């Protein structure tokens, strides 16, 4: 069922704008996995998503706290960074399941460290370097994700 789409991201502003555009397409909640090397733009994309839901302040990576919650008028957005997670079972102790409600937007950096404690994503996104720029590949893994990718593709045409 996977639909996939890719785009070049010329700079940081393009990455933020892609996140904002994704936010406009996630009206019913979503689980998003972010993959990429350190510095590839995962937190920058998340900043765009959070800003797209109306957040005005700073968006920082929750590297040490594991999750940064944003209770916004349009949606509850939870930004996870599992880079420093020692054992996936730690997620169970922090009540990880409580964050993944059907209406919440959950963005997970380094999802491979979460094991079976995090649900299947609607969107599986990879950011990678292409010279001085970046590129993004977005794969849909659910019907909800497929609808988002189709809308995004239509918007880019």
How many Cα atoms occupy the beta-carbon half-sphere of 119 within 13 Å?
Answer: 19
Query: What is Dmax (Cα atoms) for the chain?
Result: 45
Q: What is the pLDDT of residues 23-35, one digit of tens each?
A: 999 978 899 999 9
Q: Where are the beta strands (DSSP E) in the chain?
A: 3-9, 30-35, 67-71, 76-81, 105-109, 123-130, 133-140
pLDDT band at 2 (very low <50, low <70, confident <90, very high): low
Instruction: Please give the structure tokens belonging to residue 50.
Output: 């959070």
Is 113's pLDDT higher than 60?
yes
To the question of pTM greater than 0.75 for the whole model, the response is: yes
Is 157's pLDDT higher than 70?
no
**What domains are there in the chain, each with its CATH number?**
3-149 (3.40.50.300)
Rounded Cα gap, residues 28 and 39, in angstroms: 29
């Amino acid at each position: 069922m996977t639909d996939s789409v890719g785009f070049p991201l010329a700079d940081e502003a393009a990455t933020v704008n892609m996140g904002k555009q994704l936010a406009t397409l996630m009206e019913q909640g979503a689980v998003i996995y972010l993959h990429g090397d350190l510095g590839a733009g995962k937190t920058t994309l998340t900043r765009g998503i959070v800003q797209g839901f109306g957040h005005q302040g700073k968006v920082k990576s929750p590297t040490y706290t594991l999750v940064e919650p944003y209770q916004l008028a349009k949606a509850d957005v939870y930004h996870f960074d599992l880079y420093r997670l020692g054992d996936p079972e730690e997620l169970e102790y922090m009540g990880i399941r409580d964050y993944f409600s059907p209406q919440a937007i959950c963005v997970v950096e380094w999802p491979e460290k979460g094991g079976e404690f995090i649900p299947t994503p609607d969107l599986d996104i990879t950011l990678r370097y292409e010279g001085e720029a970046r590129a993004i590949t977005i794969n849909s893994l659910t019907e909800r994700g497929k609808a988002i990718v189709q809308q995004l593709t239509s918007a880019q045409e």
